[in-house]
Amino acid sequence: MSPNGDSALTAVTFGRLSTIFQRLVRCRCWVVLLLTASDNSDRILMLNDPMVLTPVADAIRVEPEKRIRDRSATEKAILKAAKSLLAEEGFQNFGVNAVARRAGCDKQLIYRYYGGLNGLVEAIGADLGTWVKDRIPEDTGGMFLLTYGDLMERLSLLFLEALRDDPLVRRIVAWEVSENTEQVRRLSEARSKALANWLDRMRGSLTPPKGVDVVAVNAILIAAIQHLVLSASAGGQCAGLALKTPKDWEKAATALKRIVRGVYG
């Protein structure tokens, strides 16, 4: 073939390749790598080249799993942020924007995952449903619980310790006697239900002494414990009893045990 014929063929071939190349660019369905071979000639690797196809396929498989993990982590971060914000500032500054800022996420994710502020409060309430179980062990701690008095002594001391260690639950206890809103009622009901279920599980077959109004006595015991902890948190004392040092709390625990034994034996 003449030199002119070769030039014409080359031009046609180049034109077709250029057209194909432009179409691939427009549809964004190609991967191209320009490599320099050992003989200094250039070659093009298209999408069907194994060197290109394998990493692309791997990337496609990984992406959905990453999104799932991110959602789970974001939900936990939102719930944690909401609980800490509620414990520190109460309902006065509790809102979607504030929670989103603390969680470091877009507020739209709170609507997407929890349906808004009410749904988030319900999620906190559900989380509080496991509060007693998570913080107070159901084993006897080496004690022989032979009587109802043994049981109530241990439970009273465990409840005292758990309440001292949880600022959010202390807030909820304070709100129960100072605020009457739908949000507070939801959290209060979740906490009360968890506490009642816990008492039933721990009691088992043990029965209180005859003639004792268990509901009234236990309500007063729980109220006394709650008031001690709230007073200590607010001013470090309760009715003249200092509640600052471990020794102070040992005195309170000893008095609590004597009250329990005085009623239940």
Domain residue spans of the chain: 3-52, 63-128, 131-264
CA dist., res. 77 & res. 114, Å (int): 12
Of 11-25, 30-44, 101-115, 246-260, the one with minimum mean pLDDT is 30-44
DSSP helix/strand/coil, 239:
coil
CB contact at 8 A, 233 and 168: no
Class of the CATH domain delimited by 63-128: mainly alpha
Give the mean model confidence (pLDDT) for residues 235-239: 95
Looking at residue 47, what DSSP letter applies?
A: T
**CATH number of this structure's domain 131-264:** 1.10.357
pLDDT of residue 138: 63
Give the mean model confidence (pLDDT) for residues 16-42: 44
Q: pLDDT by residue (tens digit) across 48-107? A: 444 443 443 343 343 433 443 588 899 999 999 999 998 888 888 889 999 999 999 999
Using alpha carbons, list the distances in angstroms from residue 140 to 154, 165, 221.
Answer: 8, 20, 20
Q: Is pLDDT at 122 greater than 90 in this prediction?
A: no
pLDDT of residue 18: 56
Mean of per-residue pLDDT scores for the chain: 76
Q: pLDDT by residue (tens digit) across 168-178? A: 888 888 888 88
Q: Is pLDDT at 116 greater than 60 in this prediction?
A: yes
CATH architecture under which domain 3-52 falls: 3-Layer(aba) Sandwich (3.40)
CB contact at 8 A, 110 and 100: yes
Q: pLDDT by residue (tens digit) across 175-191? A: 888 888 888 888 888 87
pLDDT of residue 89: 85
Equal fold, 3-52 vs 63-128: no
Helices 148-164/214-235 angle, 10° precision = 30
Q: Is pLDDT at 34 greater than 50 in this prediction?
A: no
* Long-range CB pairs of 119-123, under 8 A, 24+ apart, other chains included: 120/78, 120/79, 120/82, 120/96, 121/183, 121/186, 121/187, 122/186, 123/79, 123/82
pLDDT of residue 62: 36
Highest mean pLDDT among 3-17, 27-41, 74-88, 117-131: 74-88
Q: pLDDT by residue (tens digit) across 197-216? A: 878 887 888 889 999 999 99
pLDDT of residue 64: 35
> Sorting pLDDT into bands at 50, 70 and 90, what band is 24?
very low
> Sorting pLDDT into bands at 50, 70 and 90, what band is 141?
low
CB contact at 8 A, 121 and 183: yes
Give the mean model confidence (pLDDT) for residues 114-130: 86
